[in-house]
Amino acid sequence: MKKIYGVMGDPIAHSMSPDIHNDAFEKENIEAVYHHFHVTKEGLNDAVKGMKALGIEGFNITIPHKESIIPFLDEVDELALAIGAVNTVVNKNGRFIGYNTDGKGFFKSLCDEISGDMKAKKTLVIGAGGAARAIYFTLVKEGVKQVDIANRTKERAAELVSDCPYDKISKALSIIEAEQSLSQYDLIIQTTSSGMSPEYDHSPLNVDRLKTGAIVSDIIYNPLQTKLLREASEKGAKTQNGLGMFINQGALAFEIWTGIMPDTARMTDIVLNKLGGNTC
């Protein structure tokens, strides 16, 4: 009998996780299958109980369950607990253990593409939501010396800085303050939904004062080049979209479940083919 894995969320039919994981299972000769699981907020507790009763080997969690699933798990990894969100669960001897691979997946994608010492780069994170939290906590935990947070609501940025339990040099900024001081930063990371399909003409930040040679990363991957990345590229910045984060967070989840790191280049090709004409 094949082992069962999956992803739960609401909505969930759009997820490309089954495409990459089922291909990886086949390539690694693992008798397993990965499904979509549509789970509402009201049905989350019953869904987790049902998955445990059925012996589901592992699953991913996406919006809106990353935070609310924590009370229903038997154990939560230290970083995931600090972030306050779980995106990966593994079944270990009948116990559901939660992890967060979002920040680690993003950090790995950065390290794969960026030359020089990542830890020395003065960094600005745009946004103060769940993705920003995972990325910010991970960057600081990995030793990045200075990471500032900018958000439309400066108070939320300040709360995020205050919540981070790791040693850090950070300050909270409004978006206007960030734009005015943009030339100070070596790395800008955009974590909001601004610019995501279908709102292609939106950008969260004016890049007129962008530092020459800066790196601008946007966690969006549909479209592959957001308005922010296009404008940053025109200013001479090195740019990175969110495809690497998506692939690496999935690959790290696969490794947690199976002990095998899958072929991330193959995963990337699958997603690019799947996106097809849906990008611009």
Q: Which residues are annotated as a binding site for NADP(+)?
A: 78, 127-131, 151-156, 219, 242
- Phi, psi at residue 200, to the nearest 5°? -65, -20
What is the three-class DSSP state of 123? strand
Catalytic residue chosen out of the listed positions 27, 66, 119, 122? 66
| DSSP 3-state percent helix, strand, coil across the chain (nearest 5) | 40, 20, 40
Residue numbering of the annotated binding site: 15-17, 62, 78, 87, 102, 127-131, 151-156, 219, 221, 242, 249
Question: What's the N-to-C CA distance of the chain in angstroms?
Answer: 42
Burial of 18 (0-12, 13-18, 19+ CB in 10 A): middle
Residue numbering of the annotated binding site for shikimate: 15-17, 62, 87, 102, 221, 249
Supply 277's token pair.
């004409």
Distance CA 87, CA 67 (A): 9
Strand order in the sheet with 95-99: 32-38, 3-9, 58-61, 88-92, 95-99, 75-76
DSSP 211: P
Supply 144's token pair.
């990045």
Alpha helices in the chain (DSSP H): 17-27, 44-54, 78-83, 102-113, 130-141, 154-163, 175-180, 227-234, 243-258, 264-275
Supply 60's token pair.
């991913």
Active-site annotation holds for 66: yes
Catalytic residues: 66
